[in-house]
Amino acid sequence: MGNPAATKRSSVREMIAQSSGSKRKQAAERAVPVVLFLIAAVSVLTTVGIVATLITETVTFFSKVPFWSFVAGTEWMPFSNKDAQFGILPLIAGTLKVTLIAVATAVPIGLSAAIYLSEYASERTRKLIKPVLEVLAGVPTIVYGFFALTFVTPLLQSVIPDLKIFNALSPGIVVGIMIIPMIASLSEEAMSAVPNPIREGALAMGATRLEVAIKVVLPAALSGILASVVLAASRAIGETMIVSLAGGSTPRLDLDLTDSIQTMTAYIVQVSTGDAGYGTPIYYSIYAVGFTLFLFTLLMNWAAHRITKRFREAY
């Protein structure tokens, strides 16, 4: 028989060790939520800091420039020595030109790719095409910009002789190419989420695969598809390098797509290179333009959320 005193000392040591380990575990359990909260709070605080900076500097801008002349002005000439004009409408017009061309380019191609991947492609083909789309999404935007300037623009000039070197059409098309993966990927995921019994029921009633895709699957996945389009348009609105390189720097309030334009992001790039001194109206104008761009993006994201909630199908 063993020594009872030794056995008792051994069990006490084990209880102390277990208690110590339990205390460490409890301390870790209490610390984890705090750490996770701090990590989550970083994104919130960053957003608050950005918005606060934009609002503060924008208010300073409007102390120098009348608000109404900014939101309703039709001329943007901040660098004029005699009579500087800060009407935002030409920059908004340039931004919308590029965005609408991009959406018109990306939606048919991206949606067609999503239909093929979801309804027609084999598993092997899907595994091949989706990584290619992801690679397209990973190309740096400055590469897209030089592609638009040195390849797409000369190609379009062979068809449209009056097309200028800097124009709205070329960057709009290339921005559309850039956002194709977003529309294709998100739309394909939305379509793949439609239950197969719905497809099988339509096929059993004599519908073709194309009719199933167009008349059954697309309406069922409408919320995800519309959300992908809105998010892609939001991405196009905020694009910088492509429009800076291929769009030009001429603010224009018209519908001409063949001449030089300037978008809100392109103007911010132009001023950020050092063309304006600190504390001048031109310097503060980049914050006013940035805040306008922020409102556009916020509105698009809100619209995507509302569309998803409004048209969501429950299965």
Q: What is the pLDDT of residues 73-106, one digit of tens each?
A: 888 888 776 777 888 999 999 999 999 999 999 9
Does the pLDDT value for residue 129 go beyond 80? yes
Note the pLDDT of residue 13: 58
CA 289 distance to own-chain centroid? 18
Q: Which residue has the tokens 């998803």?
A: 308
pLDDT at 219: 85
> pLDDT per residue over 152-211, tens digit each?
999 999 898 888 899 999 999 999 999 998 898 888 888 888 888 888 888 888 888 888
Task: Output the six-digit token pair for 178.
Answer: 């850039």
pLDDT, residue 100, reads: 94
- Would you list the domain boundaries of the chain? 4-63, 76-311
Rounded-to-integer distance, Cα 261 and Cα 232, Å: 21
> Residues 227, 155: contact at Cβ < 8 Å?
no
Q: Which CATH number fits domain 76-311: 3.30.1330.10, 1.10.3720.10, 3.40.50.2300, 3.40.50.720?
A: 1.10.3720.10
Stretch 212-232: mean pLDDT: 86
**pLDDT over 70 for what percent of the chain?**
89
- Token duo for residue 46: 């960053």
Cβ contact 114:183 at 8 Å: yes
Amino acid 102: pLDDT: 94
Predicted local distance difference test score (pLDDT) of residue 15: 55
Residue 241 has pLDDT above 70, yes or no: yes
Token pair of 27 as six digits? 């301390």
What pLDDT is recorded for position 108? Answer: 93
Q: Which CA distances in Å does 310 have to 209, 220, 223?
A: 27, 13, 7
Look at residue 3 in the predicted model and tell me its pLDDT.
60
Q: Which two tokens stand for residue 63?
A: 């102390």
Q: Are 262 and 250 in contact (CB under 8 A)?
A: yes
At 19 the pLDDT is 53
pLDDT averaged over every residue in the chain: 83
At 312 the pLDDT is 63
Interstrand relation of 76-77 and 85-86 (parallel, antiparallel or unpaired)? antiparallel
Q: What is the pLDDT of residue 153?
A: 92
- Tens of pLDDT, residue by residue over 102-128, are 999 999 999 998 998 888 888 888 888
Cα 55 to chain centroid, rounded = 22
Per-residue pLDDT for 10 more than 60?
no
Calpha distance 179→235 (Å, rounded): 7
> pTM of the entire structure?
0.82
What do you get for the CA distance between the two ends of the chain, in Å?
A: 68
- pLDDT grade for 17, boundaries at 50, 70 and 90: low
